[in-house]
Amino acid sequence: MKKKVLSVLSIIVTAALALSCAAVASSSVSDIAASAVEEIIGYELGLSGASSIQEWIDGELSDNAGKGSEWFVITLARSGKYDLTEYLRSLEGYIAENNIPSATSRQKDALTMIAAGHESPYINETAENSVGKQGIMSMIYGLHLLNNGAECENYTASKLVNELIGMQYDDGGWALMGEHGDIDVTAMTVQALAPNINENKAVSEALERAVVFMSEKQLEDGDYQSFGTKNPESAAQVLIAVSALGIDISDARFVKNGHTLIDGIMKYQLPDGSFTHTEGGNSNKTATVQAFMALTAYRLNAEKGDRFYDLTKSFDPERNTERDNNENITSEQQITTAPETTASSPAVTTKSSGNDYIKTEYGKTSDYKIIAYIIIGAAAAAVCIILFLLKKRRISNFIAVIILAAGAVCFIFFTDFRSKEEYYSGDFPEKTDIVGTVTLTIRCDTIAGKDKNEYVPANGIILDTKEFAIEKGDTVYDILTEAGRKYGIQLESKSGGYVAGINYLYEFDYGDLSGWIYHVNSDAPFVMCSEYELSDGDKIEWLYTCELGNDLM
C-alpha cells in the first residue's frame, strides 16, 4: 500500500513538474515574442524619427498609406488601441487619386480599413471587383474580406472556401504555379480557411493535410525555405497559420531539433531590432513587418485565443492600457538615428556611382599585382633592416615580418581588383570542357511603362535571348554572372547565390511580392539558382514579378 501511495505521489509530482516546466517555457517564449515586438517598434520609430507609436502612425505610416504601410497598420490595430484617423484620411486620399490595378493591393487596402474599424463602401466594392481576379492570392485575400463581413454578389465565403479546397495539391499544399505546394502560399491559404474549419468535413480534412505539409517542410533550425532560399518570412506565415488554428508553439509537429517556429524567425533578427531576409544579410522591410505580424499573431492566440485576421474583434482596453496614452517607448528601445539600410555586399557589383574598382573572387596576374608584390617585398625588407639597426634581431621578429608579407601576397594573388571597364570587357577564361549550350533572356515586362524608371526598358527586355556555352557543373547563377559581365548588366546577389537585383531593379521595388524569379524551360525550379545545374539545350529566363510569379503565368 505504501509503495502504491508513493507511486501515485511520484506521478503527481512528475506531472506537476512537467506542467511547471511547460508553463515556464511558454512564458519564456511569450517574453521573447513580446521583447522582439518592442524591438521592432523601436527600430521603426528610430527609422522614422517618431517619438511614439501614435506619432509614427500620424507621420510616416500615414504618408505611405496605400504605398506599403498597410501591414504595419493592420498589426498595430490588432495589438493596440490607437487613433487611426489620420492614416485612414491619407488612405482614402490615395485611393481617390490613384488607379490601383492590382486586385490584391486593393484588397489589402480594404482589409486595413476593416482592421482600423472604418466602414467604407470601398470594402464591398473591392470584394465585388477583385475576388478571383488575380489568381489564388486574390482568392485568399478575398476570403479574408468575406470572413470579416464584406459582401460580394459573385462569391460567398462558403463558395470561395470550396474553390480553394479544390485547388489543393496532392501533397497537401497550395501554390501560385507548378505541380507542388509552396510553403508561403499554403500558410496564407490556411490563414484564410481557418475561421471556416467547422463548416464541413472537407474543410477540416484539407486543413489537416495542410498542417502535415507545413510540418514536413520545416527545417532543422525551425525556419523554412522558399524558392531555395532560407528566410524568416516563410516561418512567419506558418506561425500566423498555426496560431489561426490554435496550435501551440510547443506542438511537436512544429518543433524540429528542439527549435520552434519562433526560433526559426528569431535567428534572422539583427541587433537593431529589424530582421533580414537571409542569414547574414542587412535589414529588410518585408522580413521585419512579417516578423512583426507573426509574433503578434502568436501573442493573440496565446493570450486571447484570437486569430490575427479576425479583424473585427474588439480591443481589450486592459491589455492596451500602456499604449492608450501614446506613451513613448523606453529609452533603451528608442533609436535616435536611422540605421544603415544598404543592401548586402554583392557578388558582382552594387548599385552605386563613382566606384572605380570591383573585387571579384578569382583573379589573374596583372600589372597592378606585380607592382603590389614589389611593394610588399620592399616593405618587408625595409622593416627587417629597421629591426636589425634597432638591434631587435630575434629570429621570431623576422619570421613575423615574413609571415605578414606572405599573407599579403596571398591576398593579392587570390583577388582581382579591376576597373569597371575591365570587369565588363567580356574577357573570360576560355571554356575547355564544353558539354552544350543554353540560352538566357532577362525581362521585366511586368513593370514596363509603370513609371519613369530609367533602368526599365520600354519593351521590358533587359537582355534579349543570347546563347552561352556551358561546362559540366555550370549553374543558372554562373551563366547569369557571365551574362552580366559580358553585356554590362549590373547584378546584386547575396549569400548562397540569392539574386536581389538585376540592372538596378531590386526585390520589393514594386511591392512586397515583387522580385526576380528564374525559369528553366518555362518551369520555376524550387532550388537556388546557384544549385541548378544546366543541361544542353536549357532555356533560362530571368523575369521580374510583382505578384510572386502569378503575373508571369
Residue 243's CB: how many other CB atoms inside 10 A?
27
One domain, residues 398 and 476 = no
Q: Which residues pair with 461 in a beta bridge?
A: 443
One domain, residues 491 and 528 = yes
One domain, residues 481 and 546 = yes
Q: If you average pLDDT over residues 194-211, what whole number do you get?
A: 95
Q: Which three cell numbers stand for residue 382?
A: 625595409
| Residues whose CB falls within 8 Å of the CB of residue 427, separated by 6 or more in sequence, listed in order | none
- The pLDDT score that the predictor gives to residue 426 is 55
Q: Which tens digits make up the pLDDT trace of 354-370?
A: 333 333 333 334 455 77
53 domain residue, yes or no:
no
Q: Which tens digits make up the pLDDT trace of 132-180?
A: 887 788 899 999 999 999 998 989 999 999 999 999 999 999 987 778 8
18 domain residue, yes or no:
no
Question: Which of 267-281, 413-427, 513-527 is predicted least confidently?
Answer: 413-427
pTM of the model: 0.63
- The pLDDT score that the predictor gives to residue 342 is 32
* Boundary (domain end) residue, out of 347, 382, 414: 414
One domain, residues 508 and 538 = yes
One domain, residues 459 and 523 = yes
Q: Which domain holds residue 503?
A: 431-552
One domain, residues 400 and 441 = no
Q: If you average pLDDT over residues 50-78, what whole number do you get?
A: 94
| Total domains in the fold of the chain | 2
Does position 232 have pLDDT exceeding 80, yes or no?
yes
CA-angle at 169, arms to 507 and 226, nearest 5°: 25
185 domain residue, yes or no:
no
Q: Which tens digits make up the pLDDT trace of 297-343?
A: 999 999 999 999 999 874 443 433 333 333 333 323 322 233 333 33
For the chain, the 3-state helix, strand and coil shares in percent, each to the nearest 5, are: 50, 15, 40
530 domain residue, yes or no:
yes
- Residue that the C-alpha cell 504618408 belongs to: 63
* Boundary (domain end) residue, out of 346, 381, 414: 414
- Residue that the C-alpha cell 511520484 belongs to: 10
Supply the mean pLDDT for the chain. 81
Does position 111 have pLDDT exceeding 60, yes or no?
yes
What is the rounded distance in angstroms from the CA atom of residue 387 to the CA atom of residue 392?
5
Q: What are phi and psi of 454, to 5 degrees?
A: -65, -15
One domain, residues 443 and 531 = yes
What is the rounded distance in angstroms from the CA atom of residue 163 to the CA atom of residue 231?
29
356 domain residue, yes or no:
no
278 domain residue, yes or no:
no
Estimate to the nearest angstrom the gap between the alpha carbon of 64 and the chain centroid.
20
* Boundary (domain end) residue, out of 380, 414, 448: 414
38 domain residue, yes or no:
no
Does position 260 have pLDDT exceeding 50, yes or no?
yes
One domain, residues 513 and 402 = no
Instruction: Report DSSP state, residue 350.
Output: -
Q: Which three cell numbers stand for residue 154?
A: 459573385
What is the rounded distance in angstroms from the CA atom of residue 448 to the CA atom of residue 510?
11
What is the rounded distance in angstroms from the CA atom of residue 382 to the CA atom of residue 14?
73
What is the rounded distance in angstroms from the CA atom of residue 142 to the CA atom of residue 131?
5
251 domain residue, yes or no:
no
One domain, residues 406 and 438 = no
By percentage, how much of the chain surpasses pLDDT 70?
80
CB 500 within 8 A of CB 506: yes
Q: Which tens digits make up the pLDDT trace of 369-383?
A: 778 788 888 998 999
- The pLDDT score that the predictor gives to residue 284 is 87
The CATH number that applies at residue 444 is: 2.170.130.30
One domain, residues 532 and 447 = yes
- The pLDDT score that the predictor gives to residue 553 is 60
One domain, residues 435 and 509 = yes
- Residue that the C-alpha cell 522614422 belongs to: 48
- The pLDDT score that the predictor gives to residue 390 is 87
One domain, residues 438 and 537 = yes
